[in-house]
Amino acid sequence: MPTISDVARAAGVSMSTVSYVLSGRRPISAETQARVKAAIAELGYHPHAGARALASSRTSVLALVVPLRVDVSVPVIMQFVTAVVTAARTYNHDVLLLTKDEGTAGLERVAGATMVDALIVMDVERDDVRIPALGRLKQPSVLVGLPDDAAGIACVDLDFAATAAECLRHLAGHGHRRIALVGPSPAVYERGTTYASRFLTGFTDAAAELGLETVAHPCGPGPAGVRECLAAIDAELPEVSALVVHNEEALPPLLEELRTRGRRVPADLSIVAVCPRDVAVGLPVRLTSADIPAHDVGTLAVETAMNLLDGRRTPGTRLLPPTIVERDSCSSRD
């Protein structure tokens, strides 16, 4: 394989000049740059990643920290991962995926070894122990989520509070007055995951504003969790006419349980789900849904990380507005 020495010889310059052309760390005349680039193209030279990092103080790698806990939806998480990887490639960056639930250890390991240029952190908790550690790192970081104290931190996410409110407004617009929230797993609430608490707060506040009768219950995994959740809803809010489902894993067993009980969707019970579009349209009933914009959030996270890395943006919070798409799971009530 050709070396930097071969490029220097072909271009008639020193190896340090080739290095400066590659890194951009010193001004080189346009004529010399053209000769070096022509030699690189002719020889098919590709600088070694380690040498490139040393020359530019960049690794061309982003870390994506996404603990794969037992209560997360892996298919949904992988939509975010795909979005981040795709966006990173537009900046000629690769992605190092950290999936172990190890608190601050993984952050400090990859940052301390200068393995990455920036970090994108998912599954953010209200009082996340990783945030102080991120503040101590030399690399910039972006949270996909919104902790209680977001001062001085770059955060991007869907506006979950506004999403809950829009779900209720949509159902209220169809005449529904008794509405229940089927929430994430109890473990998600207990861990303090912020998307769940923000959605619940938005649901509660909007219900009061709209004068609706509502209840909210977490939904454990599988058919048993669905049955327990529905039993609690029916006991607390008889004649409930609509559900907001903020738990994409619960949707298949929920629809099956309702079918078994003879409760038709939407004739007997309307549903608005919070889930990716492919989930909403891939079920026996095409669900009216608030989209989880994994592509947009992942792309925005990468753009924010690169802007921070280049000193073009100060940390702040950007929450994407919700979008409700009407399909086949909502009927009107008189």
Tokens of 213: 């009768």
pLDDT of 274 strictly over 60: yes
Find the mean pLDDT for residues 191-210: 96
Instruction: Give, as one character, the DSSP assignment of residue 26.
Output: S
Higher per-residue confidence, 70 vs 187: 187
Per-residue CA distances from 253 to 204, 207, 229 (Å): 25, 26, 12
Least confident of 102-106, 183-187, 220-224: 102-106
**Residue 157 in contact with residue 135, Cβ under 8 Å?**
no
Most confident of 35-39, 148-152, 175-179: 175-179
Find the mean pLDDT for residues 6-33: 83
List, in order, residues 6 or more apart from 294 with CB less than 8 Å away: 76, 79, 80, 82, 83, 276
Least confident of 41-50, 52-61, 94-103, 117-126: 52-61
Distance separating alpha carbons of residues 123 and 119, to the nearest angstrom: 13
User: Given pLDDT bands bounded at 50, 70 and 90, which one contains residue 57?
Assistant: low
Task: Answer yes or no: CATH 3.40.50.2300 is held by domain 61-158+295-320.
Answer: yes
Helix axes 194-210, 160-173, angle to 10 degrees: 40
Classify domain 160-291 by CATH number. 3.40.50.2300
Least confident of 127-131, 160-164, 216-220: 127-131
User: Given pLDDT bands bounded at 50, 70 and 90, which one contains residue 305?
Assistant: very high
3-state secondary structure of 316: coil
**How many CA within 13 A on the CB side of residue 59?**
17
Exposed/middle/buried for residue 41 (C-beta within 10 Å: 0-12, 13-18, 19+): exposed
**pLDDT at residue 3, as a whole number:** 80
Average pLDDT of the chain is 90
Distance separating alpha carbons of residues 24 and 224, to the nearest angstrom: 60
pLDDT of 54 strictly over 50: no
Q: Could you read off the pLDDT of 247-256 as tens digits, one per residue?
A: 999 999 999 9
Distance separating alpha carbons of residues 71 and 189, to the nearest angstrom: 11
pLDDT of 101 strictly over 60: yes
User: Which percentage of the chain shows pLDDT scores above 70?
Assistant: 95
Distance separating alpha carbons of residues 251 and 262, to the nearest angstrom: 16
Residue 292 — φ and ψ, nearest 5°? -90, 105
Find the mean pLDDT for residues 89-94: 90
Find the mean pLDDT for residues 292-307: 94
Q: What is the pTM of this model?
A: 0.81
Find the mean pLDDT for residues 117-124: 94
Distance separating alpha carbons of residues 173 and 242, to the nearest angstrom: 12
> What is the β-pairing status of strands 154-158 and 118-121?
unpaired
Find the mean pLDDT for residues 219-230: 96
CA 193 centroid distance within chain: 13
pLDDT of 314 strictly over 70: no
Give span(s): CATH 1.10.260.40, the chain: 4-47
Q: Could you read off the pLDDT of 170-195 as tens digits, one per residue?
A: 999 999 999 999 999 999 999 999 99
Find the mean pLDDT for residues 292-306: 94
pLDDT of 48 strictly over 60: no
Per-residue CA distances from 32 to 29, 93, 143 (Å): 5, 27, 42
Higher per-residue confidence, 310 vs 262: 262
**pLDDT at residue 58, as a whole number:** 76
**pLDDT at residue 104, as a whole number:** 85
What is the fold of 4-47?
434 Repressor (Amino-terminal Domain) (1.10.260)
- Give the Cα-Cα-Cα angle 208, 211, 216 (nearest 5 degrees): 55
Give span(s): CATH 3.40.50.2300, the chain: 61-158+295-320, 160-291
Find the mean pLDDT for residues 278-300: 95
**pLDDT at residue 49, as a whole number:** 52
